[in-house]
Amino acid sequence: MEQESIPTARYPSLRNRVVLVTGGGSGIGEAIVREFCRQNSRVAFLDVDEIASTKLVASLGGAPMFIECDLRDVTALRDAVAEVVEELGPIEVLVNNAANDDRHGIDAVEPEYFDERIAVNLRHYFFAAQAVRPGMAEGGGGSIINIGSIVWKLGFPDVPIYGTAKAGVVGMTRVLATELGPQRIRVNCIEPGYVATERQKLLWQTPELEAEVLAGQCLPDMIEPEAIASMVLFLAADDSRMCTSQTFVVDGGWT
């Protein structure tokens, strides 16, 4: 069962705010980029998928700035942040969203693959926050929003490194919130449940899986990417100005 489309709340404080979204070309990231554009924010996003990202920019009338970037390359990430700042101004909102939940069994994992999965799913969160911190501090504050997952709480099989990384996102959020709080930089985490993105529908979503998800949730609706984007907007806006070091769960009541 799908919910009817619900209009997004308008946040005056997000108008003209400079926002950077990682992994913004598709899935949850695409929904986040679209919603910030609707708020008339100045939006940039990073992604490795040039085709999907270019299509997204065209669909939004060229409004968001897209930079092709492999976030495993920290130098490239730092250069991309500098490019956004030069083009749009100091970044006031960072959404650390990019991740990859490819399935992997424990016996097949070698050290090189382990390190690569951590680089894809956790390491760049830290270095993106590090890169935007000076501008946020100089500007009097900012909001960093880390996208986690409930997978580590439920102990899902076939994603042990992904689950480990997502647990690490929660710890990183709390530590960074403490360290950056004196500069009025807020750091929060959002943990989505099962989100019905196009990738999930294409690769893994079956009627049996959908039934399992709905049986676990309190609410009888599949979660769409826009539900996560709505929480992101709130945490980016001044309405949440006293919220930091928190994890906000959007999972329909599964956990």
Candidates 11, 113, 125, 162; catalytic one: 162
How is the beta sheet containing 185-192 ordered, strand by strand? Answer: 65-68, 42-47, 18-22, 93-96, 142-147, 185-192, 247-250
The CATH number assigned to the domain holding 74 equals 3.40.50.720
- Exposed/middle/buried for residue 50 (C-beta within 10 Å: 0-12, 13-18, 19+): exposed
Can you tell me the distance from the alpha carbon of 212 to that of 13, in angstroms, rounded to the nearest whole number?
Answer: 39
Q: pLDDT tens digits, residue range 205-246?
A: 899 989 999 999 999 999 999 999 999 999 999 999 999 999
Number of helices (H), then strands (E), belonging to the chain: the values are 10, 7
Please say if the pLDDT value at position 6 is more than 70: no
Please say if the pLDDT value at position 8 is more than 80: no
When computed from its CA atoms, the radius of gyration of the chain, rounded to whole angstroms, is: 17
Phi, psi of 68 (to 5 degrees): -70, 125
Mean pLDDT over the full length of the chain: 95
Is 115 contained in some domain?
A: yes
Mean pLDDT within 24-30: 96
Is 2 contained in some domain?
A: no
Active-site annotation holds for 125? no
- Exposed/middle/buried for residue 111 (C-beta within 10 Å: 0-12, 13-18, 19+): exposed
Structural domain span for residue 171: 12-250
pTM of the model: 0.95
Q: pLDDT tens digits, residue range 110-163?
A: 999 999 999 999 999 999 999 999 999 999 999 999 999 999 999 888 899 999
Is 255 contained in some domain?
A: no
The number of domains in the chain is 1
